[in-house]
Structure 1
């Protein structure tokens, strides 16, 4: 299973480790993913999603229904 947020589509970025001598080696910046259950009152059911920490902040701000609606429109959520 790839490390991609199901609501925002965030995935790992690539960058460089930079030493004091300015030597550069490739590294990967992983997404801060968490497996979390959310209750959807409109459908009266629980769903389990792998979401990033920033997606959880969006859910706290806007609500799970609004965030899932945006994710469906952008094509990240297929359910």
Structure 2
């Protein structure tokens, strides 16, 4: 399973770490993924999603129903809900 946010579709970035001598080593910037269960009242069921901390804050602000509706409209929803 890839390390992607189930709602936004965001994935890890690649980059370089730079030492004091300016030597470059490859580095992967992983997401802060959290596995959470959400209750969707419209469908009357619990859904388990892997979301980033930023997406979790958005869900707390707008509500899971509004966030899922926006993700379906944008086409970024990775998991069938």
Name the TM tier (shorter chain): over 0.9
Distance in 1, matches of 2:73 and 2:23, equals: 43
The TM-score, its normalising length taken from structure 2, stands at 0.90
Structure 2 spans left out of the alignment, 5+ residues: none
Report runs of 4+ in structure 1 exceeding 4 Å deviation. Answer: none
Q: Is 1:32 aligned to residue 6 of structure 2?
A: no
Q: What's 1:71 paired with?
A: 71
Residues 13-58 of structure 1 deviation map (CA, whole Å, 9 limit, x = unaligned): 0111110111111110001111110001122111011111111000
The TM-score, its normalising length taken from structure 1, stands at 0.92
CA RMSD of aligned residues (A): 1.1
How many residues were matched structurally? 79
TM-superposed CA distance for 1:71, in Å, is: 1.1
